[in-house]
Structure 1
Amino acid sequence: MIRRLFILVLMVYATDISAQRTSNQQLYQTLDSLIANYDQLTAEKEHRVADIKEGVKGINLTPEQQYDLNQRLYDEYVAYKFDSAFFYIDKNVKALSGSKDKDRFASSAVRMAHILAVTGLFDRARRLLDQVNPDSISDQQKIAYYNQQSELNIYRTEMAQFTPYVHDYIQRAQYYRQLVIKIAPEDSYDHIFNQATYTCEEGDIDQAIQMLEGYLPKLQEGTRSYSIVTSTLAFFYQAKQMYEQQERYLLLSAISDERSAIRENNSLRSLAEILMARGDNDNAYRYLYQAISEARFYGSRIRMMQVSHMAPQILQLYDTERAQTQRRTTLLLIVISIISLFLVGIFIYTLILYRKKHAAGLQIIEMNKMLAKHTEEIESVNTQMKEANRIKEEYIGRFLELNSMLLSDTEQRLKQLNRLAREHKLEELYAELKTMEPVNKGIRTFHSHFDTAFLNIYPHFISEVNKLLTDSNQFTIESNATPTKRLTTELRILALIRLDITDNQEIADILRSSITTIYTYRSKLKSKAINKDSFEDDVRRIATY
């Protein structure tokens, strides 16, 4: 019973730690709510664009005004609907082709190149960018031009995965990132984002994360920049194999995309991959279906190709589950049939026993007399056992108190984390999630209760252990021992062995230590024993009093 209680306390404690690391549920609820309102958010986006068009209806616009209107409509459609964005920016490119206004042509060409790259028309995007001479445009347009050159090469790496050309595209992207870093203001989005992605590619992922996380509070959720930065942070954390943080930033990116009707996105697909790997096939399929719908709505061939690669995997998982369900159903029918036959056999056997009942009556009376005698003996033993149990139950309460205290501390901590998440205090929330002090405090409290309870049940345990050790290796016994006395790590290991917990991994899990440490301590203790071969068996035979 004591062993089961220790394991129960450990399981509750481990569950509390796990609950602290899975704080993304609220973000999933927010994302699901936005997906449920997909049609409403789309309608709001269409209404905003319609207002812009309605505002100039019936007005004769100058070429400059028409250029600005086309740019504005492009910006509305760029991450929403490909064909509309292409339509308006194509007007500007054609109107400015051969124009002396190099800045305006560069601005339109860069935007057109982005649209072409998104849909996989890389050669056309490159040829259009080749028409821009970066030496003849302003620094602002140079930044946009270099950003687009970098983006084009990044898109090419996505399509050239597992080919020898990936490295070349990455190096080209790094080259253009350096050009942006040189001319963009140090506190600008372009400078910080390019510096972070360049730093990450060079191998310093921690510095890249620090840069983007420091800049993220300056961005507004729902903007394209916010979605890109959070998605990039998710990629950085994936590279560090910190999958909970990766999932968190993917959720923030997807929420930002859905809130602003950004249909050219990649976060939902990545979340679907995570959920599929976790075995949550229903939600993985739901997010993948949403990603496919948005990619089809936008018209991005790259995104459609990416999500289409996952569809067969989802279908295969569903087919596997359906086959397993069918096999379980067949097995259940077989088991039910066997049980039915077994019940028929029991019924027949019961009839036979009923016929023998009268003949066995006298034997039962004699047996009852013997049972009555044995019952008296059992009652005597039970009386002794109840007395011993009352002593141990007094100390079981101590662990129930520990369990209650840990649950209370966990509840308070969860309330604090929920409050920080609700108030969007992300830095404080991250600091709270990162600290290990609650865990360390819980471990200290657990050890204290364990030591006190164990020494109350086995008050002479240390002196009995000393009898098994050589004179030079015995443990010191305090003459003024108090109820708060503590065991050393070595004595805790022996205490768990006395409780019949002998597996190194199980001991390591309870004491929050490594299995190597536990193995080392046990080896040293055996080397100190008088009888090394039977030392642990002798420990298990130590009496309560």
Structure 2
Amino acid sequence: MKLLKPTYLLRTLLLLCAVAVVSSACERNETQSLSDKLDHMIANRQVYDCQKEQRIAELRHLLSVSGLTPAQEYEINDRLFGEFHKYKLDSAIRYMERNVLLARRLGDRRKGCLSGIRLAELYSSTGMSIEAKRMLDSIDRRSVPRDMLATYYKAYNRFYQQYVAFSGQRHFRELEERYQDSVIMFADTVSVRYKLDRFSQMSRRNQSHEMEVRLLGFLNSLEPDSQLYAECAYSVGSFYRRRGDDWLARKYYMLSAMTDIRNSTKENAAFQALATLYYRHDDLFRAFRYTQAAVEDALFSNVQFRTVQMSELYSIIIASHQAKESRTKHKLQYYLVLISV
């Protein structure tokens, strides 16, 4: 057996090290480029919001047309809900409450179930826990169409998820997870939503290279500007964060945040995740910026769920940011005195 020469082994080792360094540098440069782009988009969010407001104005104009039937009004309200959902929850609630009444007038069981489920989710997000639970309990499980059961259980899952955030009663986590299992059980297995929920669930327990490849492949198959892309990019970021790769986690959280900005999605989790990561790495400037963006979005849309989640982190980051500025100020004063002397 022919032995490899020590010089050959050394060269191979040096080459591998060089590749690793170059790869790491490229990742950092890409993350920095995305960070600059995200900062620019945050500063110009009103451009995307104006586009959404234009679509909303056009739909509202349709409601002013005389002679609309209850069914026609229901469909327009449903489209308005689609625009206001994850944007301005108070407005979304108003149109969905109207649709609950219209569905009863039409005697349409399917529309009644769907409107009630959506209204319960909106109530949950705005902190109206009693109203949300009452609405969900008023829906007879046996009357829910088979293809709507996943949506029905998802509403319960989100209710308990958000109730834990509001109340701090963590023993409800078990119910949250149980309803998530029911969502997976009754979902349409060929739908993109099912695949996303399934991949997100699996990636929480599986940190293998195979899982990484499957997640990235699924992300690349989605429409880049879609809401599903934003959610999947967030799941990929969380996968890397659990694996301890904060650089890649930042990259995919940024991709998620940028997609949310393009869609004027104010109920988002990417800003919060980015703020936490940058705070962990003592980059208080960016941590403060992303925390501020998250809080502004939550207050704009009245997503109490996100506001509660961010309040503690916001206080910590502001205190740390002010303490750092104070230390910098004292240091500058010290050097100024020293130079003067």
Normalised to the residue count of structure 2, the TM-score between the two structures is: 0.84
**Structure 1 residues 31 and 335: CA distance shift in structure 2, 3 A:** closer
Structure 1 portions without partners, runs of 5+? 1-8, 341-545
Alignment-mate amino acid for residue 79 of structure 1: K
Q: Is the partner of 1:271 in helix, strand or coil?
A: helix
Paired with 2:143 and 2:320, the residues of 1 have a C-alpha distance of 56
Paired with 1:48 and 1:242, the residues of 2 have a C-alpha distance of 40
Q: Match for residue 271 of structure 2? A: 268
Alignment-mate amino acid for residue 258 of structure 1: I
User: 1:156–1:169: 8 Å Cα contact kept in structure 2?
Assistant: no
Q: Match for residue 152 of structure 1? A: 159
Alignment-mate amino acid for residue 53 of structure 1: R
User: 1:174–1:198: 8 Å Cα contact kept in structure 2?
Assistant: no
Paired with 1:158 and 1:233, the residues of 2 have a C-alpha distance of 23
Q: Match for residue 46 of structure 1? A: 53
Normalised to the residue count of structure 1, the TM-score between the two structures is: 0.55
Alignment-mate amino acid for residue 294 of structure 1: D
Which of 234, 237, 247 is 1:234 aligned to? 237
User: 1:263–1:298: 8 Å Cα contact kept in structure 2?
Assistant: yes
Paired with 2:273 and 2:25, the residues of 1 have a C-alpha distance of 23
Structure 2 portions without partners, runs of 5+? 1-13
Structure of larger gyration radius: 1
User: 1:192–1:211: 8 Å Cα contact kept in structure 2?
Assistant: no
Higher relative contact order (CA 8 A, sep 6+): 2
Q: Match for residue 37 of structure 1? A: 44
Paired with 2:114 and 2:195, the residues of 1 have a C-alpha distance of 21
Alignment-mate amino acid for residue 213 of structure 1: L
Per the TM alignment, residue 101 of structure 1 is displaced from its structure 2 partner at its CA by 2.1
Alignment-mate amino acid for residue 186 of structure 2: V
Which of 16, 19, 25 is 2:25 aligned to? 19
Can you list the C-alpha shifts for 1:463-509, whole angstroms capped at 9, x where unaligned? xxxxxxxxxxxxxxxxxxxxxxxxxxxxxxxxxxxxxxxxxxxxxxx
Which of 51, 54, 64 is 1:57 aligned to? 64
Q: Match for residue 538 of structure 1? A: none
Paired with 2:21 and 2:202, the residues of 1 have a C-alpha distance of 37
| CA RMSD, Structure 1 to Structure 2 (Å) | 2.7
Q: Is the partner of 1:24 in helix, strand or coil?
A: helix
Can you list the C-alpha shifts for 1:44-81, whole angstroms capped at 9, x where unaligned? 11011111222443331101111111111001100110
Which of 259, 272, 294 is 1:256 aligned to? 259
Per the TM alignment, residue 126 of structure 1 is displaced from its structure 2 partner at its CA by 2.3
**Structure 1 residues 180 and 157: CA distance shift in structure 2, 3 A:** farther
Can you list the C-alpha shifts for 1:274-308, whole angstroms capped at 9, x where unaligned? 22222222222222222222111101112122222
**Structure 1 residues 164 and 72: CA distance shift in structure 2, 3 A:** closer
Alignment-mate amino acid for residue 178 of structure 1: I
Can you list the C-alpha shifts for 1:234-289, whole angstroms capped at 9, x where unaligned? 22322222222221211111000001111111211221222222222222222222
Paired with 1:261 and 1:193, the residues of 2 have a C-alpha distance of 21
Paired with 1:63 and 1:209, the residues of 2 have a C-alpha distance of 48
Q: Match for residue 5 of structure 2? A: none
Paired with 1:295 and 1:90, the residues of 2 have a C-alpha distance of 22
Q: Describe how 1:369-518 pairs up with structure 2 within 5 A.
A: none
Per the TM alignment, residue 208 of structure 1 is displaced from its structure 2 partner at its CA by 5.7
Paired with 2:78 and 2:282, the residues of 1 have a C-alpha distance of 45
User: May I ask how many residue pairs the two structures share in their alignment?
Assistant: 324
Per the TM alignment, residue 21 of structure 1 is displaced from its structure 2 partner at its CA by 3.2
Per the TM alignment, residue 333 of structure 1 is displaced from its structure 2 partner at its CA by 5.0
Which of 123, 128, 134 is 2:130 aligned to? 123
Alignment-mate amino acid for residue 241 of structure 1: G
Per the TM alignment, residue 116 of structure 1 is displaced from its structure 2 partner at its CA by 1.2
Per the TM alignment, residue 165 of structure 1 is displaced from its structure 2 partner at its CA by 0.6
User: 1:119–1:302: 8 Å Cα contact kept in structure 2?
Assistant: yes
Can you list the C-alpha shifts for 1:385-423, whole angstroms capped at 9, x where unaligned? xxxxxxxxxxxxxxxxxxxxxxxxxxxxxxxxxxxxxxx
% identical aligned pairs: 25
Q: Match for residue 180 of structure 1? A: 186
Q: Is the partner of 1:178 in helix, strand or coil?
A: helix
User: 1:99–1:105: 8 Å Cα contact kept in structure 2?
Assistant: no
